[in-house]
Amino acid sequence: MSERPEEPNKPSDAESLLPVDEHIEEGHDAEGRKVRHRGIYLLPNLFTTANLFAGFYSIISSMSALGAGDPREASKYFAFAAIAIFVAMVLDGLDGRVARMTNTQSAFGAEYDSLSDMVAFGVAPALLAFGWALGDMGKVGWMVAFIYVAGAALRLARFNTQIGTADKRYFIGLASPAAAGVVAGTVWAFSDYGIQGSKLSFLVALLVAAAGMLMVSNIKYNSFKELDLKGRVPFVAILAVVLVFAVVFSDPPRILLLIFLAYAASGPIQFLLRSRRRKS
């Protein structure tokens, strides 16, 4: 009796005995032929790991704030948690750009980035808002925090399914880093003045719930991906960048909060303007 031929995509016996930490990923070469690569790219995943660490540090800082007896010490920990989320945003923007610049994009990197984003921009901001303000609202508070977490998870899942098909000029729904910026900026701006979140519980609940709903909405937001950062620009553009940095660093908590609030509001405003034009 003749032996059945081995299936072309079935791993060989040698590959099935690889250690559990050996990653094999299928791809295509320049001529379109299927190739298999072992291992993962180190450089972009280092930035993704740093992003994950920043989100984890934010969670630890929020928990430390809940355990602090002195209100001033708690405000310090809440500020650290908010700053860590903004650091995670910078790292999240770098890992994708580094991968594209070095031609080291991979399916593993995309999945790892989404999981890191879920921690840094989904769980960490929700726990930060809950510890600072929403905890005093009881069940309503944790329900609002869960709405935000679920919105971030659904937003990231939908984004992953639309890669390669959606218009790169726009995000469908508020991006999770921008939503996290609204929440973290609110906590950082008010706790920096020593204001307790319990006095703003209702306002924070509305803000967190709105951010969660905007993430899963069909409202378009400008992605700014059409900006050519590698091309030549007028000299005045560099002066504008310097001015922006000077303005931000003059009062980081309030300026960053205003920037992310303006971006979050830009989507609904543009949606209403487009609807009005269609009617007219």
pTM (predicted TM-score):
0.82
3 state SS of 52: helix
Q: Which two tokens stand for residue 58?
A: 């934010």
Least confident stretch, 19-33, 34-48, 155-169, 217-231: 19-33
CB 218 within 8 A of CB 208: no
Domains of the chain: 42-279 (1.20.120.1760)
Write the pLDDT tens digit of every residue in 106-149.
Answer: 778 888 899 999 999 999 999 999 999 998 898 999 999 999 99
User: If you average pLDDT over every residue of the chain, what do you get?
Assistant: 83
Q: How many other C-beta atoms can be found within 10 angstroms of the C-beta atom of residue 200?
A: 16
Q: 206-245 burial string, b = 16+ CB within 10 Å, else e?
A: ebbbbbbbbbbbebbbeeeeeeeeeeeeeeeeeeeeeeee
- pLDDT value at 45 more than 50: yes
CB 109 within 8 A of CB 41: yes
pLDDT more than 90, % of the chain: 47
